[in-house]
Amino acid sequence: MLNSILGGISKFFGNKADKDVKEITPYVGKINAEFDKLKDLSNDQLRAKTAEFKSRVNAYLSEIDSEVADLRAEIEKANITEIEKKETAYDRIDELEKERDEKLEEILEQLLP
C-alpha cells in the first residue's frame, strides 16, 4: 500500500532522476554543437582552448581581483592603530569575494557547454 502511495506521489511530482534530466536537457544540444566543433582538434589545440577559457575567466574577474589586491595592499600599509580602516577594508573584501563568486558562476555557465 505504501508503495502505491509513493508511486502516485512520484508520478504527480516526478522523481529525482526526471528532475535532473529536465535540468540538463537544455545543455545537451549546446554540448553536442560544441563537440562537433572540437572533435577534429588536436591535443595541442585543445590545450590552447583551455588556456583561452582560463584567460576569458581571468579577464572577466580582473576588475574585482585588482580591487581586492589593492585593498589587501592598503591593509598591509595601514598602521596597527588604524583598526577601523582595516575592518572597513576587510568588510569590502568579503563583499567583493561574494561578488566574485557570483561572477565566476556566470562566466562558467557561459563556458559550460
pLDDT tens for each residue of 27-55 = 888 888 888 888 888 889 989 988 999 99
Encode pLDDT of 58-81 as tens digits: 999 999 999 999 999 988 888 777
| Gap between the Cα atoms of 33 and 36, Å rounded | 5
Question: Under a CB-based contact definition with an 8 Å cutoff, are residues 49 and 38 in contact?
Answer: yes
| Gap between the Cα atoms of 3 and 8, Å rounded | 9
Percent of the chain predicted with pLDDT > 70: 87
Tell me what the mean pLDDT of segment 84-109 comes to: 92
Residue ranges per structural domain of the chain:
1-40, 42-113
Question: Under a CB-based contact definition with an 8 Å cutoff, are residues 109 and 60 in contact?
Answer: no
Q: Is residue 14's pLDDT more than 80? A: no
